[in-house]
């Protein structure tokens, strides 16, 4: 059995799960999400836990078993607690600000970049003197949140010499050494 797939998922208080055909609806305090289960994958709900089952032991079913369990776990955690991603804007003169769900970035280009965040995600910016500006993304859909964060990062990836650009908060960058002085 799949090591990930066989682990039961505990249901926090206030989270409701409904299934019809192969579609799972998860509802909680942070929102509502849906997921379509793969063919041959079913779920059992009993006593505050959810177990994911597969129809046979083929290689694809084993892989889908663990995948669907992980996705379902992310849905449950998302509607109960939510997910947060923090990104730093590193560089002299680099700024980030927001008005509602419109993110305005000054990234050293000749123009400002206006990035519209989907309505499912809440964005806020933090600017503290002496520290890099922070972009804070919050939402219940982990996949959408990661996709938006990756898109923001792609606007100005951290360069390898000084580390200027947009990076995740705890991301470790491997910096390259610059040119060495000419030897005589």
> What tokens does 168 get?
């995740």
> What tokens does 8 get?
């039961």
For residues 156 and 87, the answer to whether their CB atoms sit within 8 Å is no
Total domain count, the chain: 2
Same domain, yes or no: 25 and 91? no
**What pTM was estimated for this model as a whole?**
0.86
Q: Give the strand order in the sheet containing 32-36.
A: 16-20, 23-27, 32-36
Q: Please report, for the domain that includes residue 128, its CATH number.
A: 3.90.930.12
Same domain, yes or no: 71 and 14? yes
Query: For 40-96, how does the pLDDT look when each residue is reduced to its tens digit (9 = 90+)?
Result: 999 999 888 999 999 988 899 988 999 999 999 999 999 999 999 999 999 999 999
Does residue 3 lie in a domain region? Answer: no
Same domain, yes or no: 88 and 42? no
Query: For 8-30, how does the pLDDT look when each residue is reduced to its tens digit (9 = 90+)?
Result: 999 999 899 999 988 999 999 99
Q: Which residues pair with 99 in a beta bridge?
A: 102
């Amino acid at each position: 059995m799949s090591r990930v797939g066989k682990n039961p998922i505990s249901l926090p208080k206030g989270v409701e799960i409904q299934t019809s055909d192969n579609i799972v609806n998860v509802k909680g305090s942070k929102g509502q999400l849906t997921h379509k289960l793969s063919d041959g994958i079913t779920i059992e709900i009993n006593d505050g836990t959810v177990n994911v089952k597969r129809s046979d032991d083929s290689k694809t079913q084993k892989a889908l078993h663990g995948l669907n369990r992980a996705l379902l776990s992310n849905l449950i955690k998302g509607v109960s607690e939510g997910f947060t991603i923090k990104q730093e804007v590193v560089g002299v003169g680099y700024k980030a600000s927001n008005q509602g769900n419109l993110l305005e970035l000054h990234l050293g280009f000749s123009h400002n970049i206006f990035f519209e965040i989907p309505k499912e995600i809440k964005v806020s910016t933090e600017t503290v003197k002496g520290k890099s500006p922070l972009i804070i993304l919050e939402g219940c859909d982990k996949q959408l949140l990661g996709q938006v964060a990756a898109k923001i990062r792609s606007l100005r990836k951290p360069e390898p010499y000084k580390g200027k650009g947009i990076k995740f908060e705890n991301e470790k960058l491997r910096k390259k050494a610059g040119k060495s002085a000419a030897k005589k």
